[in-house]
Homo-oligomer: A and B are copies of this chain.
Amino acid sequence: MTDRADAGRDVVVRRGGVPEATVGRLPLYHRVVVDLADQGVETVSSEALAATAGVSPAKLRKDLSFLGSYGTRGVGYEVSVLIDQIGAELGISSEWPVVIVGVGHLGHALANYGGFASRGFRLVALFDDAPQLVGTEVAGLTVRPFADLPAVARTDGVLIGVVATPAPAAQQVADALVAAGVNSILNFAPVVLSVPSSVDVRRVDLASELQILAFHQQRRGNDLTQVAR
């Protein structure tokens, strides 16, 4: 009866086995501990850190435990150790070359975002085909025509690309990125990109976020009218 009951699948995944939900919170934790370090804090308890990050202490401890045991019982976590360990897990030690396609307002905003270098990213190129943009300088980089993508991607080994174009252009931009060897895409265009399964796409969509807020707002409103007679 117990033919394959002992198959080692029930074991909690260890090396490299950080749960997805935890991965999603690591950048937040990283930001918070860096801020603490800037404020001169050297040691922090899970309770204080959790409060700052807006999560529960138990969740925070469990998340950190996936990276190893870097806390000191009775004391807390050393901030510098957390920065190093979370950073290592996120690959901040490496320097990922990144390109942005689309230099409208959004592309401008992203290019001028100050936190690239300190988080392990290096912005290597901006692409846009609008004639009035090509050749201009944005955030210290010269805007290049999109046709230059393959060359840049090959030279710099770009694996991560940001799509900040209008919706109609997004799919063919994504296709070109994939063809150029990019296999992680951050998509700000309000479309669902169709890419090979080997490519990882994350979608950031203003309207979706607003609609989720509105949904909760509406539900709250309904509850209130019910509760408040």
Q: Which A residues are within 8 Å of any B CB, using their own CB?
A: 16, 23-24, 26-28, 30-32, 52-54, 89-92, 94, 96, 98, 104-106, 108-110, 112-113, 115-116, 119-121, 159-160, 162, 183-186, 190, 192, 200, 202, 204-220, 222-223
Contacts and interface: CB of A to CB of B under 8 A. Distances in A.
- Report the copy number of this chain in the oligomer: 2
A219 B214 CA distance: 36
Given A119-B211, A204-B209, A207-B113, A217 B159 contact: yes
A-B pairs with lowest CB-CB distance, top 7? A105-B109, A27-B208, A106-B109, A91-B218, A105-B108, A184-B213, A27-B211
Nearest to A91: B218
- Secondary structure class of chain A's binding surface, majority of residues: helix
Contacts of A192: 28, 31-32, 52-54
A108 B89 CA distance: 35
A204 B186 CA distance: 13
Given A16-B219, A54-B192, A192-B54, A30 B211 contact: yes
A210 B91 contact: no
A3 B92 CA distance: 42
Nearest to A200: B216
A115 B216 CA distance: 20
A206 B187 CA distance: 11
Contact of A212 (B24, B112, B208, B217): B24
